[in-house]
Structure formats: structure tokens, C-alpha cells
Structure 1
Amino acid sequence: MTPTLRRFWKYWLLAAVVMALFVRLGVWQLHRKAEKEALFAQVQAQIDARKAQPLAVAFAPDRMQAFDWAVGSCLLDGRHVVMLDNQLNDGQPGIRAFAPCAVDASGRSVMLDFGWYPLGPNRIMPKPLLPAQLEVQGLLMPPPSGGLVADQVQKGNGVTVVTRIDARSLKQALGNTPVAPRVMRLDPALKVGGKRDFHVFPTTMPPEKHFAYAVQWFAMAAAIFVITLLLSLRARKK
């Protein structure tokens, strides 16, 4: 074997390591695609079936990351309106309005998502008009992701502005009211609040994107193989 060919064994070893890395990344993207598809299917199944659960199921510790359709009657205190800051809708900045809904006599509350509101440059927070009592139905879900700003709580003008919906911090902000770890995205059919839909993953990469990235990683691995093969064949001819 000539020195040139011996040297190319080192190149093949390096190429094999790089190709293995690219293939691994591609397989990981395919796994993420499957996970997203299963998650989206779970949410859609709950919306389609609308198998009613009581509001109290929002407190179930084994369902903190699950999605459940729930219905019930609750009492709202219009003095406690929570605004989740840094929420985009079609590229427009705004907030999502939440309010605690007392589900039983003990005062345990579920945060109701009343929808998205635009926010102007003056950052004057809207004050949604909320009924004292409301028959609700909607999707219990983990809280939406916050913005890029660090966690903070601000009060003023009758509202509490937060950058993350967190049960522990909200309990203190709302006067030690026990708050469920999940929130309820109200059914868009209810004529109350701001702009709402059941697109519960607005910032989540869709499965199609994961598949596209997987194809790119596999294509890069194939390109490394072809380039190394051509270079080694050229060296052998010489």
C-alpha cells in the first residue's frame, strides 16, 4: 500500500466519525418529529372527543403535563387579572390575559386564559371585562411558555404583569390563593375575552420542520461519504 493510500485510511476514519454524528443528529430529529406528532395528536383527540372532566382535575399531580377537556362553573374576582407579557400573534406584540377562577369553597383556582390582546408602544395594559360567574369549558394544558425576559412580577393599574405563568409565584401575587399548575385555554366559542384559538403550541417547531432537518443531516452524511470516496479513488489512480 502506498503512503498516499495509507494516509487516506485516516481520512476515512475521520469521515466515518463525522458521518456517524450527522446520522445520529438525523435520527434524533426523526424521534423529535414522532414525539411532536404524538403530542399534537393527543391534543387534537381531547378537543375532538371533548370528554368532560371537572375543573378540579387541573390540580392532579400526575396530570401536570397532560391535556384534558374540562367544564364547570367558577367564580372570578375581577381585581386579579394577570397579563403574560411578550406574546406574539402573527408577528404583532401583545399579552395574554389570565384570571383565577375559584373551583371550590376552599378558594383553589385555575387560571383561565382569556386570550390575546395587542399591546401598543405605550404599553398600556388592557383591562378585560370579566363576569363575576362563568360557565366555562376548554382545554386544560401546561402554562404557555414565557417571553425572553427574565422572570418578574409587576403590579399596577389593577393588573399583574408577569413573564411566566408559574403556580408558586402567582399564589403569592394573588394573595396566597392556591393556583393549579395547569391553565385552561377557554373554548373560542365562548363569547368572552380576546383573541383565542386552540393553537396551543405557537412557538413549538412543527413535525415537518424536524423532518426537513433530518433530511439535511442525512444528506450531509451522504455528501461526506461521496466526497471521501471520490478523493480516495483519485489518490489510488495516481
Structure 2
Amino acid sequence: MIKRLPIIPTILVAACVAVMIALGIWQMGRAEEKAALIAQYSQVDGLEAIDWPIVPDADNPPLYRASAFDCLEVTDWRQTSGRSGDDAPGLVHVATCRLDDAGKTAQFVAGWSKAPLTPDWVGGKVSGIIAPDGGAIIRLVTAKGVGGLSDVAAPSPEDLPNNHLAYAVQWFLFAAIATIIYLLAVRGRIRRRLR
């Protein structure tokens, strides 16, 4: 039967299945890493507040630590979907704050509202919890809404997604499906040749 296997398709399928299995194993490792990271971030509750990192380390941001800074001026507002302090859906309002005369800025979640609006807040001293930010690495999330905004949901390490195990299962299923399809195709080819 081995002699009847098509060489090039067999090599291609074997290589693809090996890559899919390797990706599944890699995702399992990533799931363990993410679980350890979430556990690490969960232990920062109650630690002393830290100075606002002007240039955050992208590889090791100080997430979920208490911090504060002086927002000298709001240079921009943006809105994104989010939840209020009592878990209602709506919009969170993120201010870009100027921190100094050299042009350094920071992102600050100023509060929540049900509808789009421009908050009545131009800056000041702010404090809160450091949370992830897709563009600026980190942002400060206030405990109390400012400028007429309501409170936002407090950031939590439990909000970090850890879906790597699901991705691992998908890669293993893709490998199994590719193997089954290949074996069925080869079986059909061998049967046709034996006729």
C-alpha cells in the first residue's frame, strides 16, 4: 500500500498536519503563559500606587496598579464601547492628556455615558488604575467619572482574554480533519486502481 501512495501529495499533507499540530502545541503553551500572567496581575491589588510611567515598557506594562498624573490639558476625546460601574452597556470617554510642555501625553478614561457627548472637563489631577490600551499600551481608568460622566467599570485582570486553549483545539481538529480527508482520498484512489 505504501508504494501506491502519491509522493508529493503525501509530503504536502504530512507537512501541513505537522505544522497544525505544532501550532496547537504552541497555543497550549500560550494558554499557560496567559494564565500565569493573569494570576500575576491579580496579585497587584492592594500594592502601593506607582508613578505614572511616561514611557511604558510594552513587554512588561504595570497593569492594574494604582497611579495618578496631572492632566495639564485635554488635547483630544475619543469614545469606545464599554460598561458603567453598575455594568450597563454604553460609551467610555477617553481623553488624551498633555502631561508636560515637551509634548508627552497619556490616555485617561474619564467616565461613562449612555449616549455620545463631549464631557465638560478640561484637565486636572487624576488617579485610577492602569489598564491596557490598544494604541498607547496603557491608560489610566478613573474610579469616579469626571465632567458629568458616570463611573466606569473598574479594570480587572479577569477581563484579559485567554482563548488560546480553544485555538489549540481548533488546530488539532484541523490536523485530524486534514488527515481523514487525505486518507479517504487515498483509499478512493487505491480502490479505483484495483478495479
Q: Same fold (TM over 0.5)?
A: yes
Report the TM-score when normalising by structure 2. Answer: 0.64
- 3-state SS in 1 of match to 2:173: helix
Q: Which amino acid aligns with 1:64?
A: A
- With over 3 angstroms needed to count, the CA separation of the structure-2 counterparts of 1:118 and 1:41, relative to structure 1, is farther
Note if contact 1:96-1:116 (Cα within 8 Å) is conserved in structure 2: yes
Is 1:42 paired with 2:42? no
Corresponding position of 1:150: none
Corresponding position of 2:17: 22
Counterpart-to-counterpart distance in 1, 2:93 and 2:41 = 23
- With over 3 angstroms needed to count, the CA separation of the structure-2 counterparts of 1:13 and 1:108, relative to structure 1, is closer
What RMSD, in angstroms, separates the aligned Cα atoms of the two structures? 4.1
- With over 3 angstroms needed to count, the CA separation of the structure-2 counterparts of 1:200 and 1:100, relative to structure 1, is farther
Unaligned runs of 5+ in 2: 146-150
Counterpart-to-counterpart distance in 1, 2:32 and 2:122 = 36
Identical positions, percent: 10
Counterpart-to-counterpart distance in 1, 2:51 and 2:97 = 10
Corresponding position of 1:162: none
- With over 3 angstroms needed to count, the CA separation of the structure-2 counterparts of 1:65 and 1:200, relative to structure 1, is farther
Note if contact 2:131-2:139 (Cα within 8 Å) is conserved in structure 1: yes
Unaligned runs of 5+ in 1: 145-164, 166-180
Is 1:112 paired with 2:95? no
**1:1-38 CA-partner distances (Å, limit 9, x unpaired):** 9xxx97x432x531331242133134224323432542
Q: Which amino acid aligns with 1:110?
A: A
Corresponding position of 1:226: 183
How many equivalent residue pairs? Answer: 183
Corresponding position of 1:208: 165
Counterpart-to-counterpart distance in 2, 1:130 and 1:195 = 22
Counterpart-to-counterpart distance in 1, 2:60 and 2:32 = 15
Corresponding position of 1:64: 58
- With over 3 angstroms needed to count, the CA separation of the structure-2 counterparts of 1:45 and 1:26, relative to structure 1, is same
Corresponding position of 2:148: none
Counterpart-to-counterpart distance in 2, 1:230 and 1:117 = 62
Corresponding position of 1:191: 144
Q: CA deviation at 1:57?
A: 2.6
Corresponding position of 1:158: none
